[in-house]
Amino acid sequence: MTFEALMNAPQQLLLKTISGSHAYNLAIEGSDTDLKGIFILPEREFYGLHYTPQVSNSTNDEVFFEIGRLIELLCKNNPNILELLNTPAHAVLFRHPLMDRIKPGDFLSQLCMETFAGYAKAQIKKASGLNKKINKSFEKIRKSVTDFCYVVHHNGTLPLAQWLQEQGFQQETCGLTALSNFRDGYLIYHHPQLRGIVSGEQANDVQLSSIPKGVAPLAVMTFNKDAYSVYCREYLEYWEWVENRNELRYQGTLAHGKSYDAKNMMHTFRLLSMAEEIALYHEVRVHREDRDLLLRIRRGEFEYATLIEMVHKKLDNMESLYAASGLPVAPDTSKAEDILVSIREDFYKASRLH
């Protein structure tokens, strides 16, 4: 089953909903319309060799879960799946009568404390990660190995490029030998027959040379390999982020001037509040009545430190809420399996009659 095949076989759909901000009551001008849903594989595909747990379109803003995958994730109290199952009526585009057999309350458990809080912590990490990206930019031209090489000079060091310039040398006419008992330390030589300190601009390490007889070392050089490795990783991460970032959200972050992704922080509080509500009321409240507070967070009206303090207060209170919740430790997987089997049996039986 592919996304395209499912779109051409609507009879396999069990649920189709509008998800995201429109379901949360958090949509603003420019908000995307995302779709989520549930399908059931045709009987032959289900019993065949290739099980398809979920499908999505190329932009991943339309995602559909196979009924078996749905039940599996419900038993793990996956927040996305619990939200899907509890989509407000106004955001439900299609619902098969068989979906009535899946009652949200049958799946809520104390696992929700970890899953919803875990998602919230991931949003905090994304939000703070943006702060690092904004404040640590990289030139488009990547630095080379030689930018991390230093020559011992008097009581300190000189960058290799400066030392070469002062000596009137090109790196291509220099060579290195390893210096015993000195990690990433080398002796530098100069001779027209040498290989060079690096093989070229794209080299990821220095290279050693065979030194002609009688050529004496001129200096000691060290290559800060650890710093070079960290730089390469962060350089790659930064430019991948630039290429893939949501430019509208990025410009919004710059506009409110708080240097964190306010949308991620908004979802942090949404998830934590939903976790509290599950413990208190035994239901998943997707439609947010705290819209005003959440949109204030999204607009960047709070300092990052203030938000983190608020988050910690919610997390500190979470364990006592769940201890008093009366929720089971985990969902009843045997009951879940019975529901899944009954849905498959009745759906396939009806399909055969048609």
Series of mean pLDDT values for 10-residue runs along the chain (354 residues) = 95 97 93 95 94 94 97 96 96 97 95 90 65 60 94 94 96 95 94 94 93 95 95 84 59 52 87 96 96 93 88 91 96 96 96 86
- Residue 179, domain member (yes or no): yes
Which amino acid, one-letter code, is at 107?
Answer: F
Q: What is the pLDDT of residue 235?
A: 87
User: In which domain, by residue range, is 289 found?
Assistant: 108-137+246-327
Last residue of a domain, one of 225, 255, 282: 225
Looking at the fold, whether 133 and 53 belong to one and the same domain comes out as no
Q: What is the pLDDT of residue 255?
A: 45
Contacts of 249-252 with CB under 8 Å at 24 or more apart are: 252/300
- Residue 302, domain member (yes or no): yes
Q: What is the pLDDT of residue 254?
A: 43
- Residue 278, domain member (yes or no): yes
Q: Describe the strand order of the beta sheet including 149-153 as a list of residue ranges.
A: 156-159, 149-153, 219-223, 185-190, 174-178
- Residue 95, domain member (yes or no): yes
d(CA 15, CA 84): 9
- E-assigned strands of the chain? 13-19, 34-39, 54-56, 62-66, 92-95, 149-153, 156-159, 174-178, 185-190, 219-223
Q: Which of 50, 80, 51, 66 has the alpha carbon at shortest distance from 14?
A: 66
Would you say the pTM of this structure is higher than 0.85?
Answer: no
Q: What is the pLDDT of residue 123?
A: 73
Q: Describe the strand order of the beta sheet including 54-56 as a list of residue ranges.
A: 54-56, 62-66, 34-39, 13-19, 92-95
Q: What is the pLDDT of residue 97?
A: 97
Q: What is the pLDDT of residue 201?
A: 84
d(CA 89, CA 287): 10
Q: Could you give phi then psi for residue 85, rounded to 5 degrees?
A: -70, -25
Last residue of a domain, one of 171, 196, 225: 225
d(CA 151, CA 223): 9
Q: Could you give phi then psi for residue 39, rounded to 5 degrees?
A: -135, 170
- Residue 235, domain member (yes or no): no
- Residue 232, domain member (yes or no): no
Number of domains in the chain: 3
Q: What is the pLDDT of residue 259?
A: 58
CB 25 within 8 A of CB 90: no
CB 295 within 8 A of CB 28: yes
